[in-house]
Chains A and B, each alone.
Chain A
Amino acid sequence: MKLSLSREEYARKVAGITPASPLARDMLFAFLTGGGICLLGQLFLEFYLSLGLSEELSGSLTSVSLIALGAVFSLTGLYAKLARFGGAGTLLPITGFSNSMISAAVEFKSEGLVSGLGANAFRIAGPVIVYGISAGILYGAVYWLSSRL
Chain B
Amino acid sequence: MVIRIAAVGDVHLDEDVVGRFRPALEELPECADVLLLAGDLTRHGTEAEARCVAEEFGGLAVPVVTVLGNHDHQCDQVPQVVKVLEDAGITVLEGNGVVLDCAGGRLGIAGVKGFGGGFAGRCASDFGEPEMKAFVRTTTDSADRLGAALRSLDCDMLVALTHYSPVPDTLAGEPLEIYPFLGSYQLGQAIDSAPTALAVHGHAHAGTERGTTPGGVRVRNVAHPVIKQAYSVFHVGDQLDTDQVSPIGQSGSQRSWS
Asked if A pairs with B, the answer is no
